[in-house]
Chains A and B, each alone.
Chain A
């Protein structure tokens, strides 16, 4: 759906940080994506291959680190993880639940190379 806009943002961020250290090439990009962020990895990869062409990021590998959705039950304070659908608290069956993780959506780091010297 909106993966093109997301992929363009990833490229912009990677190029800006690569430029700041005068890199000649970006080989790897590490993304941290929470389960609750609705992004399809394959679509990002598809757009990436197109838009990264002829930039410092050409042929750079995208790594998706998926963070599970972590929830905390308001009633019994149990913290638990869910992978797929929303579910009530596995301990007390309560429905008062706060999301405490899984909405991450950021570029964690990039790996760069520089001709002739270490950056």
Chain B
């Protein structure tokens, strides 16, 4: 099963002829992903790593039946590229690009929600359902197919925790990096809902960090809607007061954004919060024994 992507996902890579696009297309193919098309305007009829390149998404979808997209285009062009993929109803649309202006993200997400398309990112590592499909830039070998769902705001911290889970003998159903920008498409609550409905997933890891109010929101969502066991880790307990957007941003989330506040909200919701990443596998094993 897994969530969002699996062996039937046919990936379109937008920006496939750039360095990043080319490198990660190879890595996704090596991981067993079905990368069926690339898009770079003006480079149609080329091939990259054996994958045919088209000028437009419309052509690529028509010719190859691509059903999901991953974007490596530079930030100034990300909005248009995302619009093109959303209008073609590729789903999900994963935006790896960093430094996308937040007003562009606003328009991307508004269009995606009107068209019923799930956007992941921007500024994210993507997602992987080990042994089935990788749609992202994470190192493949640290993952192993299994029954743990992971959702995270961070890139490298996710790799760290996924690797510790793999080394402990467990594996992952799907691992999703949501990205760390102020506006992102898929959120914890979306991922939790998907994992709750996924047969393969038996337990969930939620990885958070300081800033914003998403973790607090996830805590109250879990109480109401999630029956599967969840363990959390929050980075940034000793962080210096971060340069955040300040008061107005905090009003609407109703929280200070501190690690302590998030840990408290999660613990009050009955969710164990690990002090160190290395404690997570043990807590997961405990969950699975209880079942």
A and B pair up: no
Residues on A facing B (Cβ under 8 Å): none
Give B contacts to A, CB under 8 Å: none
